[in-house]
Amino acid sequence: YLRATLGASRSLSHPLSAEFERLDDYLQLMAIRMGDRLTYTLDLPPELRNLPVPPLLLQPLVENAIKHGLEPCEECGGIRVRASLAGGGLQLEVADSGVGMGAEAAEAVRSGGGFGLVHVRERLATAYGGRARFDMTQAQPHGTRIVLQLPIDDPIDVQAAVVPPLPAASLSNTTATAS
């Protein structure tokens, strides 16, 4: 996991499927540590697998969801990461069922956020300039939802992309829990 993550961090972009594979590796490790308190779903449609994204774009968001949302909550435990086409671009969503944002956390986000959020915003600015959007909101009834809206320079490429066969354990609609 660490070798793959560090290797990916040296490139400017990689396929979205690689980003989801690293998330799956990370979440499997965290599920061992957290046990039944962590369940997750990774939803990556096959037609989006080859879209280029900056590496380590989603992992800091998932790490924050665990640290600030799920760890403080004994009964909480769900994270969903989903990729979809929306608004003429790629939409990436990280949502958790944790404790959500209090007033202090919401203010920290408005003023730039901690290291993880700063890192994600810098990657977005470097890769897309002002063409990407980052939205963080309180999920209902509780939890936090982050949506990244990324431009796709040529949407036709999405439909024409050569999609390699999915591995036996597809990441689409995968839910894992530690036993």
- Determine contact, residues 8/22, Cβ cutoff 8 Å: yes
For residue 160, what pLDDT is reported? 40
pLDDT higher than 50, residue 112: yes
pLDDT higher than 90, residue 21: yes
Instruction: Give helix 2-9 / helix 16-34 axis angle, nearest 10°.
Output: 140
Query: Residues 76-98: pLDDT tens digits?
Result: 779 999 999 998 899 999 999 99
Q: From the CA atom positions of the chain, what is the Rg in Å?
A: 16
Q: Which amino acid is at 13?
A: S
The mean predicted confidence, pLDDT, of the chain is 80
What domains can be seen in the chain, in order of their start residue?
Answer: 2-164 (3.30.565.10)
The proportion of the chain whose per-residue pLDDT surpasses 90, expressed as a percent, equals: 51
Residue 72 preceded by cis peptide, ω within 30: no
Q: Which amino acid is at 64?
A: N
